[in-house]
Amino acid sequence: MATEYANSSEYIAHHLTNLTYGRFPDGTWGWAHGADDIASMGFYAIHVDTMFWSSFLGIIFLGIFTLAARSATAGVPGHLQNFCEYLVEFVEDNITQVFGTRPNAIIGPLSLTILVWVFLMNLMDLVPVDFIPYGAALAGIPYMKVVSTTDPNATLGMSIGVFFLVLYYNLKMKGPIGFGAGFFTHPIPSIWAAPFNLLLEIVDLIAKPLSHGLRLFGNLYAGEMIFILIALLYGGGIVLGLLGGVMQWAWAVFHILIIALQAFVFMILTIVYLTQAHEVHDDH
């Protein structure tokens, strides 16, 4: 498919462009047909492919665990039940090690959802880069990015959701006065250091959701870019095509580790941030 483009830059740009629907400067709504259209839409733009694939994979996650719950048995468990129970136990072990055994009704389901959902979104990076976009083009759809975690709107959306939970539990556990006082008394417990503490704490507060979301985005975006660059070799003849096949296989094998690791990191950071929010005495 790379040979259908005028040059490699056009090929790369196409594969990194989201299917976007939004409002044009003249007030009309429609589909973007290039980077200029997307830029003109500004805030009033929706990455439809990101919304579709993230929702689709979320439904798959719910379907798998719903099926496992409905077919669960106290006798000899099946493979699906074993798999789901292993994931639940893995998440519970990590929560116990970081969060402890204090009661919380949301951290378990949230952590499990993040782990599996982010993993499934990352896993789409192993689909050949031309496979789904080419099929979409045949159906008249100009762009189709299938890896939702290569879109910062998705990763930052998740991290900001976690950030709001962190704010909620900070206010709930420490109270508005205690939470606010922490901005002036940490890390240096002196009234003279209050302005300096306030600056550091605000930077720390803002940096957490940014680093949380951008870390996932950066790793998956880089991995997708490498797959796209390797795919360019297929248009260079038999020798380069064979080399590209070997390189793509090798990178896919290595990338499996990145896919799983980034899902785990996003989950464990969520647990850490919620743990810090529950600490009445700020020890972080």
Residues with active-site annotation: 211, 215, 219
What whole-number distance in Å separates Cα of residue 121 and Cα of residue 56?
10
Q: Which residue type occupies 93?
A: D
Cβ atoms within 10 Å, residue 162: 21
Query: Strands, E, within the chain: which ranges?
Result: 20-23, 29-31, 45-47
Cβ atoms within 10 Å, residue 132: 17
Which residue from 27, 51, 23 is spatially nearest to 37, judged by alpha carbons? 23
Which residue from 283, 271, 273, 262 is spatially nearest to 205, judged by alpha carbons? 273
List, in sequence order, every residue forming a beta bridge with 47; answer none if it has no partner. 20
What whole-number distance in Å separates Cα of residue 136 and Cα of residue 48?
13
